[in-house]
């Protein structure tokens, strides 16, 4: 029951937010309340007189309503809401004007009976009493027809109470915290079934009907339920469901309202599974499954484009230090995931993951993950819709797509169940510092070794995400760790073969780029075979790229040809020195060698372009200066005054 206690404590620590909608229309519900979508709002005065009625727009339809245990889970039969409800419940004249197939008189009587029990109490707010007085007149549908706001008999009705004397008072009953508190206290007095709460240990009113709608408004699955008296829910161990476990009504309301709010506000959706991370004391914490860009924001667009490993590390450390001002070593952090067995919105929910930890441990694990699993990527778009390069750890979903994704009509996709299971296995690596599973890394390496199966964009996305988890794998399992920067001193045969493949790919790829040819390079075509039999395949690739190398003989590219030729000779010599030029299959390090060598080529080209642009700018400035001096000299010779 520790998770129920943690959620109940969270509710108590966030009591000031109860009943308040945030910008995304999420709300921490009061006890004994739910939300409904209203279509009609009826305005009455403090004497119960009808003022007007209005249709409610979809953007403002979410309404907090009081509920009982029965009405909160109604599906059929008569179970009236205590205040706001459908027309067939609130309108006495429903049968007269709407002419339903069966009489709704019993529905209205049940509704009025429940409302009267609340409204006739001495301490009930005046707003509730005013609504009760209005409804006793039995003119709801008639008033709606006169005001031309009636459309459908299924419309849901909410109320507002206006007063000329109290102009500053908010007329909305469905946002009034006094009304919320009053109904919660009233309903608690009607609960007669008392027992020991298994969560708190107190003798209090208990409940056997626990809330649903935890993951979304259409979710009918429950975390705890015992309504199957004919089946095998508790049969064979207990004669009654209450013998298995009993939870206090107020405790359950707090816990499940808090969970529903947390999932809506900061939950991570993993297929049908919902993952949520929060601090019990309501301290500000970083989202556990977010992308690094949102988790560790850039200070400016210029900083985004000038990102390096060192700057990224500073950005992460600065953000974590900021969170440490709110999170103390004593802060309790919870990471929790819930899902159904078949991924549907029916049946029973289960806790698929649960972890409690101290705030300091949580931040340390999160910091380690984002620093140890960092790599350079370019699959995000900026505000202009342009791809840009960024450094960071891939999200759990990106890792799942890298390991198990396939190219489907140009999009990188994988089965939802596969992604869900993979994310579940990655989650402890982030939240608890567990080692990354080897099989996930090997699956990603296999995908990255088959570029012919993917579009260029999707393969590059797989490659960079794979490199990131390879780095994490090397750290976790005590292997030699390679960074993004090119390691020119490494004599690992896998790394050297990867660099050679990059040189071959670069030679041919650059020719295609200059000639504006859309064609796959031989390095990509033979990639899969290269990873299995590198020596033999590299000989084939090298023969295929010789014509492209020879085309670099002109004066504009001769230096480029010499550089590539010299680099290949050096790499072949080093492979020979370590006796590595064999057909033994390559391990994951060859991908790191390939990426780092290609990144080095790109950065050298970008530097050359920048230097050329700076040189041209300096020449243009010098030319302009000389032209100005010559014009000044000519003016002096002509006897004209020279402008300063």
What is the C-alpha separation between 445 and 590, in angstroms, rounded?
10
Query: Would you place residue 633 in the very low, low, confident or very high pLDDT band (cuts 50, 70, 90)?
Result: low
Mean pLDDT calculated for residue range 188-217: 85
Q: What is the pLDDT of residues 445-459, one digit of tens each?
A: 999 999 999 999 999
Query: Would you place residue 644 in the very low, low, confident or very high pLDDT band (cuts 50, 70, 90)?
Result: very low
Q: Please tell me the predicted confidence (pLDDT) of residue 203.
A: 84
Q: What is the pLDDT of residues 96-138, one digit of tens each?
A: 999 998 999 999 999 999 999 999 999 999 999 999 999 999 9
Helices and strands (H, E) in the chain, number of each type:
23, 17
Q: Please tell me the predicted confidence (pLDDT) of residue 306.
A: 63
Above 60 in pLDDT, residue 181?
Answer: yes
Query: Would you place residue 387 in the very low, low, confident or very high pLDDT band (cuts 50, 70, 90)?
Result: confident
Q: What is the pLDDT of residues 470-521, one digit of tens each?
A: 999 999 999 999 999 999 999 999 999 999 999 999 999 999 988 899 999 9
Q: Please tell me the predicted confidence (pLDDT) of residue 399.
A: 97
Mean pLDDT calculated for residue range 598-603: 93
Q: Which of 104-108, 207-211, 283-287, 513-517 has the largest mean confidence?
A: 104-108
Mean of all residue pLDDT scores within the chain: 89
Q: Please tell me the predicted confidence (pLDDT) of residue 584.
A: 96
Structure tokens at 16: 């000031």
Claim: this prediction has a pTM higher than 0.85: yes
Q: What is the pLDDT of residues 243-261, one digit of tens each?
A: 667 889 999 999 999 999 9
Q: Tell me the three state secondary structure of residue 481.
A: coil
SS3 letters across 504-564: HHHHHHHHHHHHCCCCCCHHHHCHHHHHHCHHHHHHHHHHHHHHHHHCCCCCCCHHHHHHH
What is the C-alpha separation between 201 and 186, in angstroms, rounded?
23
Using the Cα atoms of residue 261, residue 267, residue 269 and residue 274 in order, give the sign of their dihedral.
negative
Above 70 in pLDDT, residue 632?
Answer: no
* Nearest by Cα to 549 from 530, 567, 534, 562: 562
For residue 178, give Cα distances in angstroms to 115, 174, 181: 17, 10, 5
Q: Tell me the three state secondary structure of residue 305.
A: helix
Q: What is the pLDDT of residues 127-144, one digit of tens each?
A: 999 999 999 999 999 999
């Amino acid at each position: 029951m520790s998770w129920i206690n943690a959620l109940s404590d969270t509710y108590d620590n966030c009591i000031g937010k109860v009943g308040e909608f945030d910008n995304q229309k999420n709300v921490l519900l009061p006890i004994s309340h739910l939300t409904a979508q209203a279509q009609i709002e009826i305005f009455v005065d403090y004497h119960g007189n009808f003022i007007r009625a209005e249709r409610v727009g979809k953007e403002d339809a979410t309404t907090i309503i009081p509920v009982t245990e029965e009405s909160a889970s109604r599906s059929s039969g008569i179970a009236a809401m205590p205040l706001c409800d459908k027309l067939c419940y609130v309108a006495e004249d429903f049968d007269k004007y709407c002419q339903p197939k069966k009489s709704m008189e019993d529905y209205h009587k049940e509704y009025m009976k429940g409302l009267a029990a609340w409204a006739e109490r001495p301490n009930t707010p005046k707003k509730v009493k005013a609504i009760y007085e209005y409804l006793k007149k039995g003119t709801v549908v008639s008033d709606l027809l006169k005001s031309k706001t009636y459309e459908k008999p299924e419309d849901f009705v909410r109320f507002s109470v206006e007063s000329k004397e109290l102009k500053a008072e908010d007329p909305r009953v469905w946002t009034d915290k006094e009304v919320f508190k009053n109904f919660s206290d009233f309903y608690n007095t009607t609960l007669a079934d008392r027992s020991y709460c298994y969560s708190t240990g107190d003798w209090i009113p208990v409940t056997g009907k626990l809330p649903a709608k935890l993951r979304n408004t259409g979710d009918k699955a429950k975390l705890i339920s015992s309504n199957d008296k004919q089946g095998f829910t508790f049969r064979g161990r207990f004669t009654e469901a209450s013998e298995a476990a009993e939870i206090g009504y107020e405790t359950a309301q707090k816990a499940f309202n808090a969970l529903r709010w947390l999932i809506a506000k900061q939950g991570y959706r993993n297929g049908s599974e919902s993952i949520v991370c929060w601090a019990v004391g309501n301290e500000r914490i970083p989202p556990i499954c977010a992308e690094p860009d949102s988790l560790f924001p850039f200070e400016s667009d210029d900083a985004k484009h000038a990102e390096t490993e060192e700057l990224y590390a500073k950005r992460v450390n600065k953000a974590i230090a900021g969170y440490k001002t709110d999170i103390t070593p004593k802060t309790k952090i919870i990471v929790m995931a819930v899902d159904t067995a078949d991924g549907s919105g029916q049946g029973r929910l289960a806790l698929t993951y649960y972890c409690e930890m101290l705030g300091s441990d949580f931040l340390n694990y999160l910091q380690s993950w984002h620093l140890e699993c960092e790599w350079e990527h370019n699959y995000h778009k900026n505000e202009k819709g342009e791809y840009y390069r960024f450094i960071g750890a891939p999200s759990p979903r990106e890792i799942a797509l890298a390991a198990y994704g396939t190219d489907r009509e140009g999009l990188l996709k994988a089965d939802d169940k596969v992604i869900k299971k993979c994310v579940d296995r990655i989650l402890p690596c982030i939240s608890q510092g567990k080692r990354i599973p080897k099989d996930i890394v090997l699956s990603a390496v296999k995908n990255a070794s088959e570029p012919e199966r993917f579009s260029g964009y999707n393969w590059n996305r797989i490659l960079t995400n794979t490199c990131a988890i390879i780095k994490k794998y090397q750290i976790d399992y005590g292997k030699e760790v390679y960074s993004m920067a090119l390691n020119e001193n490494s004599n690992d045969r896998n790394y050297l073969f990867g660099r050679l493949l990059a040189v071959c790919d670069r030679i041919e790829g650059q020719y295609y780029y200059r000639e504006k040819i859309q064609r796959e390079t031989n390095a990509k075509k033979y990639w899969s075979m290269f990873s299995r039999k590198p020596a033999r395949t590299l000989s084939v690739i090298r023969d295929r790229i010789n014509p492209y190398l020879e085309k670099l003989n002109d004066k504009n590219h001769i230096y480029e040809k010499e550089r590539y030729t010299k680099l290949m000779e050096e790499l072949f010599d080093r492979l020979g020195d370590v006796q590595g030029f064999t057909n033994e299959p390559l391990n994951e390090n060859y991908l790191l060698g390939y990426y780092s060598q290609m990144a080095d080529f790109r950065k050298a080209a970008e530097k050359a372009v920048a230097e050329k642009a700076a040189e041209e700018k300096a020449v243009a400035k010098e030319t302009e200066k000389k032209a100005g001096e010559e014009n000044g000299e000519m003016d002096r010779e002509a006897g004209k005054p020279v402008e300063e």
